[in-house]
Structure 1
């Protein structure tokens, strides 16, 4: 009888069919193909509840279906859609009242499906708005990471690019260090003073100037003292001959020297 209920109400009344299939499964797990039919019924009901925005009921159907066939992809995909729908509802509730919570909800959506509805564009707008608020509060350091995340989400976003240009002004280039000045080494040179020129009418030859009273007398040599030794010897001989003629005694060289010594003494 339960099998007839399942076959009769499979398309007309899914709820009745699901209840009958569950009862059959409790009685005999391997009865015919009741497990496959129950899995299909619960997946269909989960999608219907998801469209009706009954997220908790939809999650329950997908969860039970997943227990029937752990390796089948329909139940995990259905649960993923439920999570996306819940995150979207949370984002809409907090979009204006609490942008930070809206950002968290959209970030969770992006982790599951980055192309879900308008999640990418809305998250980009929220990050740009938050960075703008921080920039007006003179918190450029706080705005910078939000602008970078916005640019990562939507690389063509002009608002994020403009915000980054404001937060990161062009640094002033540091001039290179000046090269050391090579100072030439100067060798000191001693410059002697130039003697003044002699006054006019002044004799330039010192030997021609007259002796001053303080100058020592200039001894000029006698012409006879500078005579040749031969002439000096001849004169000495003549003197000796004259003396010998006067005295009548010959004068020898030794007696002459003796007399000179005596006279000198």
Structure 2
């Protein structure tokens, strides 16, 4: 069976824009035409090796889904396999598509100057990335300033040699209240970690439209075991951790008890 032809590479219709805000740093650019606008957006997760990638396009009839996605950096080049969360934004005429890359893979996209995402019927698109390296440098500066505002100083950032990490992953249980109401959305939160990796002081950074989902992200973080950050002498140090979550009810499933599904 012949593979599908690669999608045409979209060219930008606007400039790179870095948004400095109290709760996030965002790099984005518009592509396509005013009638068929597609927005490519990058949001680093501070204190992690992860950068979320968002593609906003016209709303579709497709259901909210979480599906496999192949992320490529040049025609015929190596691909990274990931997962794509895709759903229509509530009350808007736009569809939200979210995946992400490690910093090493993001650097591959920077070097190639092209980023493609193939999730079949959910999303097949490729973007040209002119001047991306300069834009990412400004984005990195924004993240450093944001962490400083959150209370993790520039001096602490410079001293850190190893990022904190969840020991066994973060257990994000879909809350039963939200599942029964079929509430979906995205949110993010940050916590403080002491030198033993013990979490405290969870703060919602980007709220969803569901109090249950916002409660669940903090519950998950505060009940996660972390390996603490380390300084350049190998000594454990205080730090912070940030995570962003997309809450989607699996296709063909229904709520069946607290945080569980019958599929």
TM-score grouping bracket, smaller chain normalisation: under 0.3
Structure that is richer in strand per residue: 2
The alignment's TM-score, normalised by the length of structure 1, stands at 0.18
Structure that is richer in helix per residue: 1
The alignment's TM-score, normalised by the length of structure 2, stands at 0.19
Structure of higher RCO (CA pairs closer than 8 Å, 6+ residues apart): 2
